[in-house]
Chains A and B, each alone.
Chain A
Amino acid sequence: MYKPELLAPAGDLEKLKWAIIYGADAVYIGGPSFGLRANAQNFTIEDIKEGVKFAHDRNRKVYVTVNIALHNEEGKKVLEYLKELEKTGIDAIIVSDLAIMDIALKNTKLEVHISTQQSVTNKESVKYLKNKGATRIVLARETSKEDIKEIIDNVDVEIETFIHGAMCASYSGRCVLSNYFTNRDANRGGCSQICRWDFNLEDENNNKIEGEKPFTFCTKDLSLLKYIPDMIDMKITSFKIEGRMRSIYYIATIVGIYRKAIDEYMNNKESYKYNKEYEAILNRCANRESTAQFFYGIYDETCQYYNGRIELSNQDFLGVVLDYDEKKGLALVEQRNYFKKGDLVEIFSPNGNIITYEINDIYDEDNNLIDIVRHPKQIVKIKINKTLHKYDLIRIKRY
């Protein structure tokens, strides 16, 4: 029976666990080499093994990005790396360079997914890749609902599309601004996000064409929460969330909301209603505005973001529940943002439950009563008479 996969990013082992606990069916991660986030923490081979065990114990999957554009020097090392990955028990690799696909399929039992870096936009390309042995194609973010549907209707292969997160301003793989501006290779994991820089726009006579804000390539983010029913009805295999560099709060929140929306629609299509509160929670977690972008064929001025590198930030995320003492009714909490006695907060759980609570008694590690929790990662105890659990998160209530 068809059930869409909710696929979450995980920048490290901790985030992998949070993504899975909050409802991701699968996670994608970067290994120690050949991924497009060369400057992220990434996973060691040992981390991958541990992550795979954690995921497989819960019947979830792990995919590893091996999606750089090869240069000669990397080509010589890739087989050895793929064999190391194979031993970890991962469920698939995600590649853009077809030589890597070829090497993997001929020399390992690894399943191969085609990365969005290959910018696959049509059914002929999908057919080609399927015939060559890829089991899943991550479509280009430029494809519309109609494009995706036509591909699914014509080629029997798994199709993955993005549902949430930041967008490349360019076709993926067709931007090397980073190479030319900073010498950092965009297609080998060094992208320095020149698309978020400000530029002066000029005419041929060097006259500035100036708006109220400077020119930038930068776009709003993607959010397809509203279109989850459409995507499910189209039978898209996997719904992908962007953001391997994002925080545990972001991952838990976004995964949790999409998990709820998907399950609610799958459980009862007739009675499903779009929940605006979910949208509000996603928006609070974002640092840019979002739109449906190419999914509905729209890539006009309403999709641009002219605030350059300025990103909205909030201090909603207050803390992580580390433990709960049933006898004393005390939650052990690690602080992430300033909070104080009297704050109205929401405590949300991997099972989707949300508790609204006004913070009352707060104790420091020496059991002294305090009013304010101001230090990053400060460990405190909060009196609460409702049972909390490890992996619960606390955010300020804003509506």
Chain B
Amino acid sequence: MTRRSIQNSVIPYVVLVLGSVVFVYPFLWMIATSLRSLAGVGSSGASVWPHEFLWSNYSRAVTSFPFWRYALNSVLTTVIPIVGTVLSCSLAGFAFARLRVRFAGVLFAVVLATMLLPGEVTMVPQFMLFNNLGMVDTLYPLILPAFFGSPFYIFLFRQFFARMPSELADAAVVDGCGWFKTFWLVYLPLARPAVVAVSILLFMGYWNNFLGPAIYINSDKWKTLPLALAGFQSVNGTDTPLLMATSVLITIPCLVIFFVAQKQITNGITFSGGK
């Protein structure tokens, strides 16, 4: 190896290692703090070795407030919306990619335009809509809109379907398959990488959603985990180990999903429409 090429690979390495330490440090510190006692938090400063292993912080986190009830609400407002979004967006994405009829282009332009529309503009009137429907302080406002598509994911699915050969559709239709069967039996199974990638992105979004529950949920029994943690922070703001243990517990599902499906996150996302 020449001196030049050694230099070229050493410098990035040093930068990467230093950066990684800075990045991963707060994460390790969170875990370490979640295992300390209150007195230990005050004396240990920046150390990421806990020195004491108070697993009881975790059992306190689960029992000191109705953790499992909130977890159930979080699961309900995550899993059902994922199914809804994937169904509605893949259907629309397929239509925009493969059924190029009149007005399809115009409508797709509308989809792209709404991607730039901030949800906050419709936040107040949407609240009134759900208020009229008598759904305030239930989980429904956090679940139902997902079944009506979301522009960003329609766009992602369209890009994915546009990359798949159109001969597939022609062949299926010639064989007497209707359009829905063509979509359901031919295209959707082949779009598995996209479905997985979108589901993971959606999971992170719905699981950590805070604005929605903050608007719609008042009573204790419908609180989701992030909403409960925020309330917990303002009431027990000084019990650091307990707060960190709860934060770790909220993060664990995201970690598990990330490590199981690490590859799919980068494989399923394509931005270019051509082959």
Chain A partners chain B: no
Q: Which B residues lie at the A interface, using CB under 8 A?
A: none
